[in-house]
């Protein structure tokens, strides 16, 4: 569950997933660069496909806000809404920069 009341995000993750999370987060950081490049090249179908993948994996690990943002990016890509996609990519990047992971 995310808590953004203090401007930060806290994500509770099962301690059994601890070894997988660093690579998961590294991949999501790479996704930001990929999203930006795809948007620059108007590759809306690719943005939609990547957002769909993130939507599924984010939820699997307990990153609910990441899943929500990916869902919104996917919808914006379907509509070819460049401005909205750019806003959401920025939110996604901010989330990754601020997320605090707590292992339970």
Counts for the chain of helices (H) and strands (E), in that order: 4, 2
pTM of structure: 0.89
Asked whether the predicted pLDDT for residue 1 surpasses 80, the reply is no
| Residue of 48, 38, 45, 98 whose CA lies nearest to 74 | 48
Q: How confident is the model at residue 4 (pLDDT cuts 50, 70, 90)?
A: very low
Q: What is the pLDDT of residues 38-91, one digit of tens each?
A: 999 999 999 999 999 999 999 899 999 999 999 999 999 999 999 999 999 999
């Amino acid at each position: 569950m995310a808590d953004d009341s203090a401007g930060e995000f806290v994500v509770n993750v099962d301690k059994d997933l601890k070894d997988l999370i660093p690579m998961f987060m590294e991949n999501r950081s790479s996704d930001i660069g990929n999203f930006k490049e795809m948007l620059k090249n108007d590759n809306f179908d690719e943005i939609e496909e990547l957002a769909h993948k993130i939507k599924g994996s984010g939820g699997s690990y307990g990153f609910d806000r990441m899943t929500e943002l990916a869902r919104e990016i996917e919808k914006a890509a379907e509509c070819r809404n460049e401005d909205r996609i750019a806003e959401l990519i920025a939110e996604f990047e901010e989330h990754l920069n601020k997320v605090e992971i707590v292992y339970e």
